[in-house]
Amino acid sequence: MKSSLFVICTLASVLTDASLAAGEDAGSIPWRSDLEAARKEALRASKPLLVVFR
């Protein structure tokens, strides 16, 4: 439940204009910044890729 709330709060922070930095500080979502590396990681791990464009 805690991680669920973290996900929601962190994505909520991404949703708002003022909180990009807050999203990074929250630390619950290990945002990657290298799209191609993340794509390969998703393939290796058989996980879907969540790409946020800001």
Partner 1 sequence: MDAAANYVPVRVLDMIGVDLNVYRFDYDLTFAVLLMNGDGTIYHRYGSRNSANASDRLSMTSLVRLLRETLADHAAYTAQPAPKPAMPRRVVEEIPPLARKIARRTREGKKQECIHCHTVNDTERDFEREQKRWSREATIGMWPRPEKIGLTLDRDEPRRVLAVAPDSAAFRAGIREGDRIERAGEEQVRSEADLQWALEKATSGPAEVAIEYRRGEGPPVRAVIQLKEGWKLASELEFSWRASMWELRPRPGFGGREVAPEKRAGLGLAAAGMALEVTYIVDWGDDAATGENIKKAGLRKGDVVLSVAGKSDFASELHFQTWFRYTRKPGERVEFEVLRDGARRKLEITVLQ
Chain positions contacting partner 1, by CB under 8 A: 3-4, 6-8, 10-12, 14-17, 28-36, 38-54
Q: How far apart are CA 16 and CA 33, in angstroms?
A: 19
CB of 1 to partner 1, least distance (A): 9
29 close to 7: Cβ distance less than 8 angstroms: yes
CB of 54 to partner 1, least distance (A): 6
Residue 31, classified by CB atoms within 10 Å of its CB into exposed (0-12), middle (13-18) or buried (19+), is middle
CB-nearer residue toward partner 1: 6 or 22: 6
CB of 5 to partner 1, least distance (A): 11
